[in-house]
């Protein structure tokens, strides 16, 4: 299988993010992923795009968030890019809260944790004013 990539670009408005989510589900339907995982892929991409808008651009419209969704023979990969403020000290996230105490559950800051939990690989780079969060999920072969 030759890799195929869909490139999407939206203005940095949270109201436009749903378009990206719908496109991700459509690409997932063309992959060997189980239908139950489409929502996981959508959540990860939507979280990453929301983070770019909220953190890199401080919710200012008029900027672009670019998403590339690539189907490879063994995985689906995503790259979310912006030219806003870079993530400082990118590292795996941990959440420390007591699930028995509702008030201790964080109200925000869980996006990267969710992505890192659901995806097989997650990387971040910031070069020449362009920030890119990349992540992928490998296709699993059914167990015999």
Mean pLDDT of 97-121: 71
Model confidence, pTM: 0.86
Nearest alpha carbon to residue 40 among 87, 66, 10, 76: 76
- Tokens representing 10? 């939206």
Strand ranges (DSSP E) for the chain? 4-11, 64-71, 75-82, 121-127, 130-138
Nearest to 37 by CA among 140, 143, 144: 140
Checking if the pLDDT of 127 tops 50, the result is yes
Q: What is the pLDDT of residues 68-90, one digit of tens each?
A: 999 999 999 999 999 999 988 76
Domains of the chain, with CATH numbers?
Answer: 4-138 (3.30.565.10)
> Per-residue pLDDT for 126 more than 60?
yes
Could you report the per-residue pLDDT of 30-62, keeping only the tens digit for each? Answer: 999 999 999 999 999 999 999 999 999 999 999
Beta sheet of 130-138, edge-to-edge order: 4-11, 64-71, 75-82, 130-138, 121-127
């Amino acid at each position: 299988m030759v890799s195929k990539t869909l490139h999407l670009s939206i203005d940095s408005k949270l109201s436009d993010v749903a378009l990206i989510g719908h496109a991700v589900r459509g690409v997932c339907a063309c992959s060997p992923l189980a239908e139950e995982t489409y929502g996981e892929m959508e959540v990860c991409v939507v979280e990453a795009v929301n983070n770019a808008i909220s953190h890199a651009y401080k919710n200012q419209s008029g900027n672009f968030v670019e998403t590339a969704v690539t189907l490879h023979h063994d995985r689906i990969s995503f790259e979310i890019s912006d030219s806003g403020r870079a993530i400082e000290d990118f590292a795996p996230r941990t959440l420390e809260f007591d699930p028995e105490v509702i008030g201790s559950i964080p109200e925000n800051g869980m996006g990267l944790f969710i992505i890192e939990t659901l995806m097989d690989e997650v990387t971040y780079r910031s070069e020449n004013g362009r920030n890119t969060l990349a992540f992928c999920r490998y296709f699993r072969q059914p167990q015999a």
